[in-house]
Amino acid sequence: MKIEFPKKFWWGAATSGPQSEGRFNKKHANVFDHWYEIDPDAFYNNVGPDTASNFYNSFKEDITMMKKIGLNSVRTSIQWSRLIDDLEEGTLNEDGVRFYNDLIDEFLKNGIRPVINLHHFDIPAELYHKYGGWESKYVVDLFAQFAEQCFKLFGDRVEDWFTHNEPMVVVDGQYLYQFHYPLVRDGKKAVQVAYNLVLASAKAIEKFREVNTNPKGRIGIILNLTPSYPATLEAKDVEAARFADLWCNQMFLDPSIHGVFPKELIDVLERDGVLWESTIEEEKVILDNTIDVLGVNFYHPNRVQQPTVSPNSLTVDWMPTKYYDSYEKRNRRMNVDKGWEIYPKALYDIAINVRDNYNNIPWFVSENGMGVSREERWLNKDGMIEDEYRIQFIQEHLYWVSEGIKAGSNCFGYHLWTPIDSWSWMNAYRNRYGFISNNIHTQVKTIKKSGYWIKEVADTNAFS
Ligand code: BGP
């Protein structure tokens, strides 16, 4: 069966500054650089972000390889901690400006659309230590100032901007489940941070509308959407799935696209005494500055059941787990290395949800991918990794994307995580995701079988 895609479909891949560049010449540490400095043991094999995939030094060669495998668009992020010299004054770091100028020009020279994101979990550590990072509305304003600098510097050449990548992961990782520095566990702060991230996105969009002069320029947000499926049709499981959807998906989708938070969520948070602090002026900024385009990161669905922990036994004041529990393993198809369920049809459900409930806004799959460990197991005699499993994974997901498009959803592209195996938060290089492998000792990069496969797909806009 031949699966075809619309003209000008984006075939690409995504990375981020902190996971690819390496720390070279950076004036400031982001929270991950800092965490690695104080606790290298928190990272798999003690490998930190210092070198990552050396993109800062090898971006020209790397982009040549991306072109070779047919990618027509690539996302990365501008690191706040690299571009800005004085974080409060918002003055520019010359080397940072030079680097991102050269990088963007190199993409364009190679016919690759640069898709630029502004925050990928990497707030400068200093802003956390001095002001509590995303807990602070002052930091929200500093982010808008940084965003404005980016639009002014690069907006003549960059058409596609995104404010945050996966703000939910900041809430979960940094403020609830303690898997990202600063490892806080505080429901009330988590709720405030979620609100502040939405506000920061809206304030950045407001700046964009003020300073952008590129007629093709547009701006959006990248959300990791996890459709929530109840374990059974019992009312309590269904209710739990409803809350999971409100908390994990709608909390960011609704204000980003409709300009308001879901009332049902506000009611629950208010009743529990953890609702964020907001002002009428801020709410107006959120209402007036919705997105033009949506990025959807999809890895796995959320299988939800009623909470197993009694609300009274919570060890902290408030947790969303008061209302739902996720479970992952019951006889489901799994990516065992990463521990994530594989359920491609969820992408179709997302497509229909965006079509029906979110104005059928233009959207693309901004990340999808399969993290696999010890991929050298599949090295062939010519030194190429034969990652058939990745090709199959992508095909299955693309099939459901195409079904969504046929049903009228406005999806315009697919980006794999990631073009070249990159450094991955605490997992460092354990799980590999790329079309191109990276030997972290020599930094030699080699195209995998999936890289040659995607080239054919991109060239023909179809696969069979
Ligand atoms: C997403 C992030 C990426 C990337 C990816 C893979 O949530 O946006 O930055 O890391 O997940 O996950 P992991 O790195 O944890 O294996």
Contact 298, 367 (CB under 8 A): yes
> Which residue did the predictor score with more confidence, 314 or 336?
336
| pLDDT tens digits, 84-107 | 999 999 999 999 999 999 999 999
Contact 417, 13 (CB under 8 A): yes
The H or E element that residue 348 is part of is helix 346-357
Ligand 1 and 427: CB distance under 6 A: yes
Domain count, the chain: 1
- Whose C-alpha lies nearest to ligand 1, atom 10? 424
Rounded to an integer, the average pLDDT of 329-334 is: 82
Contact 205, 289 (CB under 8 A): yes
Helices 137-154 and 187-211: angle between axes, nearest 10 degrees: 30
| pLDDT tens digits, 315-325 | 678 999 999 99
Q: Regarding beta strands 160-165 and 113-117, do their DSSP bridges make them parallel or antiparallel, or are they unpaired?
A: parallel
* Full domain range(s) for residue 40: 3-463
Ligand 1 and 33: CB distance under 6 A: no
| pLDDT tens digits, 43-87 | 999 999 999 999 999 999 999 999 999 999 999 999 999 999 999
Ligand 1 atom with the shortest distance to the CA of 425:
14
Amino acid at 200: A
pTM value?
0.98
| pLDDT tens digits, 389-411 | 999 999 999 999 999 999 999 99
Choice among 21, 166, 341, 375 that is catalytic: 166
Ligand 1 and 169: CB distance under 6 A: yes
Q: Is 166 among the residues known to form the active site?
A: yes
Q: What is the ipTM of this complex?
A: 0.97
Q: What is the percent of the chain where pLDDT is above 90?
A: 94
In 69-136, alpha helices (H)? 80-83, 94-109, 125-131
Q: Is 367 among the residues known to form the active site?
A: yes
Contact 113, 70 (CB under 8 A): no
Ligand 1 and 417: CB distance under 6 A: yes
Cα–Cα–Cα angle for 56, 204, 320, rounded to 5 degrees = 95
For residue 440, report the phi and psi dihedrals to the nearest 5 degrees.
-75, -15
| pLDDT tens digits, 178-211 | 999 999 999 999 999 999 999 999 999 999 999 9
Domain holding 412: CATH number? 3.20.20.80
